[in-house]
Amino acid sequence: MIKQSVIENVLEAALSNGGDFSEVFIEDKYVNRLELQSGKIDKSISGRDFGIGIRIFSGLQSIYTYTTDFSEEGLLRAAKRAAHAIKNGTNGTIHPLRKEMVLPIHPIEQMPQNVEHARKVAVMRKANEIARNYDERIRQVGLRYIDEEQHVLIANSEGKFVEDTRVHSRLSIQATASDGVEMQTGFYGPGAHAGFEFIENLNLEHYAGEAARIAITMLSADECPSGKFPVIIDNEFGGVIFHEACGHGLEATSVAKNNSVFANRIGEKVAPDIVTYIDDGTLPNEWGSLNIDDEGEKTRKNVLIENGILKGYLIDKFNARRMNAEVTGSSRRESYRFNPTSRMTNTYIAPGTSTPEEIIASTENGLYAKYMGGGSVNPATGDYNFAVSEAYLVKNGKIDRPVRGATLIGNGAKTLQLVDKVGNNLAHGAGMCGSISGSLPVNVGQPMIRISEITVGGTKGE
């Protein structure tokens, strides 16, 4: 990307005013986006983005800048400009750069850049056809296709010099159903750290069919009652609640500043024995997986909560200084435009021993949340509010009629304590997560779980 000698000069220039650590992040990214509406390609965007981020530490001071000028003069100018922001620093040492070899653990068979546009469109048209033919009440189908090929080079004053290539592919399907009076939507968005082979091998009958089925099912659903009762949350994207309401509270971004309900609680009981919560960036070809993080550290399996006991946090290099702790391969950023920090990769509740059938049968009355929708969380308190995109009442241990308008309201740390059943059917769902270092691909996951009591907001009284 850029000569090693130039990178060494930039690292040195960054420490010219007293910093004790400097880092260069070089990114070269290709992106393709396609959108299909009303059976036609509505949008087709392809682009390339190249830039360099420069970061400096001086004790607990962090300075970040970026540039798209990759000439040596431009890079040195940016590094020196950032260095001038350092106050009363102590000069650090530049160690010789040592190239590290990255062992790819996410095999890529078909690089998206080498795949003809027509093949990508053909998959979208097929998914559109399946969703539209599901039921005559499907009035609109929208599809979004995206692939990204990101090449990164990370070097720092400690001698790290490492390169990596990341490839992501995703197909999102939204179906809209209408009976002339009501209108409902269904969504599915599978993605992977993989090439076009992932898209081409998708079970479109399942994904497009599910998006359409959700919309049709919710079209005839009753209004959801409100109140407090047991809630069964299904696997896969059901994990979004704990991702948002607990996962962010386990990132050093908030823990290091004591802005988390989990801060300073290592070794404490924070959940029932049946709950083990893991973030694992090494899962082969999963949407949130990486070979290395954005500081050049190898990703790993981080057990955050084990049998109910808080075991650790997700820690990046700068917050490791604040916490006097070791990094966990969890530093991420959307692009060179963002200063990296601790972020989740593939975060999930480990499978338990109960079968889904046993969980449902043991629930006398409650709500079954089959698919979760969007929501909001207060990161400082963990208070959340999440919509349920497909829900059913549970009566006498059986799934009853579908209901719509359900909202789950609660507090993440408290809800974690109320998990009383964990299923054996772990699955992961792809999503995008936003935080101070940008929007990133992450997996949320869990088996089916039951929470003994949640406040359910509905559209009619209990």
Express each pLDDT in 197-254 by its tens digit: 999 999 999 999 999 999 999 999 999 999 999 999 999 999 999 998 899 999 999 9
In-domain check, residue 193? no
Residue 213: partners with Cβ closer than 8 Å, 6 or more residues away: 134, 186
Q: Give the amino acid at 329.
A: G
Tokens 């965007």 sit on residue: 45
10 φ/ψ angles, rounded to the nearest 5 degrees? -65, -45
Rounded distance between C-alpha atoms, residue 86 and residue 158, angstroms: 19
Identify the pLDDT of residue 88. 77
Element holding 79 (H helix, E strand)? helix 72-83
Rounded distance between C-alpha atoms, residue 163 and residue 28, angstroms: 11
pTM: 0.95
Question: Considering only CA atoms, which of 152, 153, 309, 329 is closest in space to residue 252?
Answer: 329
96 with 240, same domain? no
In-domain check, residue 212? no
CB 188 within 8 A of CB 173: yes
CB 93 within 8 A of CB 157: yes
| Parent domain of 307 | 227-457
Tokens 């990164």 sit on residue: 152
Termini Cα distance of the chain:
62
Identify the pLDDT of residue 90. 78
| End-of-domain residue from the set 85, 100, 115 | 100
In-domain check, residue 17? yes
Identify the pLDDT of residue 376. 84
- Indicate left, alpha or beta for 360 from its phi (over 0: left) and psi (-120 to 50: alpha): alpha
Identify the pLDDT of residue 32. 97
Q: Please tell me the number of Cα atoms within 13 Å of 4 on its side-chain side.
A: 9
| End-of-domain residue from the set 58, 78, 100 | 100
Identify the pLDDT of residue 44. 96
Q: Please give the C-alpha separations between residue 320 and each of 55, 60, 73, 328, 458, in angstroms, as whole numbers.
A: 15, 10, 32, 9, 43
CB 393 within 8 A of CB 458: no
Identify the pLDDT of residue 271. 97
Question: Considering only CA atoms, which of 200, 190, 192 is closest in space to residue 144?
Answer: 190
CB 300 within 8 A of CB 328: yes
Count of structural domains, the chain: 2
Give the residues of the chain that fall short of pLDDT 50.
Answer: 462
In-domain check, residue 201? no
Q: How many CB atoms lie within 10 A of CB 101?
A: 6
Identify the pLDDT of residue 460. 62
In-domain check, residue 202? no
Beta bridge partners of 39: none
Which token pair is 270?
A: 């924070």
Question: Helix (H, G, I), strand (E, B), or coil: what is residue 274?
Answer: coil
Identify the pLDDT of residue 378. 85
CB 442 within 8 A of CB 337: no
Q: Where are the alpha helices (DSSP H) in 226-365?
A: 240-242, 252-255, 317-323, 356-361
212 φ/ψ angles, rounded to the nearest 5 degrees? -70, -40
Identify the pLDDT of residue 120. 98
In-domain check, residue 237? yes
Identify the pLDDT of residue 278. 98
298 φ/ψ angles, rounded to the nearest 5 degrees? -65, 135
In-domain check, residue 418? yes
232 with 370, same domain? yes
In-domain check, residue 406? yes
Q: Residue 222, exposed/middle/buried by CB under 10 A (0-12, 13-18, 19+)?
A: middle
Tokens 């899962």 sit on residue: 283
CB 36 within 8 A of CB 124: yes
Q: How many CB atoms lie within 10 A of CB 107?
A: 11
Q: Residue 435, exposed/middle/buried by CB under 10 A (0-12, 13-18, 19+)?
A: buried
